[in-house]
Structure 1
């Protein structure tokens, strides 16, 4: 697998890689965010990588496609798909009924849960609206985590941010009292990063299907039935032959497909 990278820092959508598998291959564009480690992020040399990207590129190889990776800000990621900026999205997107009104999804490629994150030593131990009415709570805008805190904590001071990195920065700096994020990235941030050492996961994982949906899927335009089925077949193939596990184990200590 060879990545060729050309990054333009001022562009909203950055073309940052391609997967070379032959001149006659079908050309597709894979949309991702590029700001959500360890699932998708941009290395210091401009390479976009992460679990989402590696899975996506492997699926491209299995369906015989040459895939260009396009990074897009989260708040424009579904509009970008609908505007044909890319052909599918693999960016840790929860499959929800609301999103199904705009796009179709593949079968889940990993399971989904959210979590509360609080500073170490915090007195926050109860997660009701009454208990958190005077607290500042953060999440990334346009996400199911944002939907969750707005629905569950209407009396709190809600702060929404363009990227997860910005939520983490304010959390580490003490500008917010709690955040809600995806379980696996938050576990990774609190256990493996210097700034994340400020904080810890708290409470039970949030698995309400009203917010986390049916899992995490690849989003496609609703008319692209053939591409969806080809990606589903390729996903089954990489699960069966161990390729998925090899990629999974580079990033996680559990199988994120089963959360075991």
Structure 2
């Protein structure tokens, strides 16, 4: 799981902005931090954030962000970046907030502030059916595990599994991981469970694979939910986002969007 539970991120690489997509929201009266709210996202993680054939952005996080902009009476603007470049781009003021199924880890809290939780987390191992692999270092020793570069999954496997013999392979996007899983270059991947279900396992190329073992439970690294991140000390933007999030939760918009994109599956990376 652009989905994602849980779509510490790299702070060193500033990714080039690839595209800005603007969604017009009718102007209404009301105080807010700015007339335009700019979200940074990585549109390579369906069903959370992805691009349609015509180039438009789509996905759960995109619809949530647009609904929050409508609730806050601001225009919504989307800026694309690679996942591991989002934090650096936020610090460089390329946009106002990161909306990309991000987990609130301690490392991220050191450089960002976060909204209230948006949706729950669910990190799972994906492996071939019948492989008998489990999401632990003993089972995966000597195995090649692909993870999204800069994600909490990458931080987890590198700190907890790599030193115990697991061969960690980092990729710039999840689709490349799935491609190498299918062609045998990887033995497994650690990913947001709902993203794996909807973005891979239900597709023809994912037919030979499954969610292997239980979900990963390590709140200190993986976090417990997806949040939206803002620059440290940017209280106006944070207040605007939290108020808008509370509103779309209260009126049922968030629940409707979760059901539309995820069914009963939770998310965040």
Q: Shared fold by TM > 0.5?
A: yes
Cα 1:250–1:136 change in 2 (3 A) is: same
Q: CA deviation at 1:123?
A: 3.4
Q: Distance in 1 between matches of 2:98 and 2:40?
A: 5
Q: In the alignment, what sits opposite 1:18?
A: 23
Q: Distance in 2 between matches of 1:197 and 1:54?
A: 29
Alignment of 1:137-148 (within 5 A): 137-148=145-156
1:190–1:198 contact (8 Å) kept in structure 2: no
Secondary structure in structure 2 of the residue aligned to 1:227: helix
Tell me whether 1:119 sits opposite 2:124 in the alignment.
no
Q: CA deviation at 1:255?
A: 6.7
Q: In the alignment, what sits opposite 1:129?
A: 137
Q: CA deviation at 1:130?
A: 3.3
- Structure 1, residues 183-209: CA drift from partner, whole Å, max 9, x if none? 210122344222222310011111310
- Structure 1, residues 127-156: CA drift from partner, whole Å, max 9, x if none? 442332221111011011111111232212
1:128–1:152 contact (8 Å) kept in structure 2: no
TM-score (norm: length of structure 2): 0.86
Q: In the alignment, what sits opposite 1:211?
A: 221
Name the Cα RMSD after superposition. 1.9
User: Runs in 1 of length 4+ with deviation above 3 angstroms?
Assistant: 22-25
- Return the structure number with greater relative CO, CA threshold 8 A, min gap 6: 2
Give ranges in structure 2 of 5+ residues lacking alignment: 1-15
Alignment of 1:53-202 (within 5 A): 53-124=62-133, 126-154=134-162, 155-202=165-212
Q: CA deviation at 1:244?
A: 1.2
Q: Distance in 2 between matches of 1:179 and 1:96?
A: 20
Q: CA deviation at 1:20?
A: 3.2
Tell me whether 1:223 sits opposite 2:233 in the alignment.
yes
1:115–1:182 contact (8 Å) kept in structure 2: yes
- Mean alpha-carbon deviation: is it higher for 59-68 or for 189-198? 189-198
1:16–1:46 contact (8 Å) kept in structure 2: no
1:113–1:212 contact (8 Å) kept in structure 2: no
Q: Distance in 2 between matches of 1:247 and 1:179?
A: 27
The count of corresponding residues between Structure 1 and Structure 2 is: 246
Q: In the alignment, what sits opposite 1:6?
A: none
Q: Distance in 2 between matches of 1:158 and 1:127?
A: 13
Secondary structure in structure 1 of the residue aligned to 2:214: strand
Q: Distance in 2 between matches of 1:127 and 1:50?
A: 28
Tell me whether 1:236 sits opposite 2:246 in the alignment.
yes
Q: Distance in 2 between matches of 1:15 and 1:236?
A: 26
Cα 1:17–1:169 change in 2 (3 A) is: farther
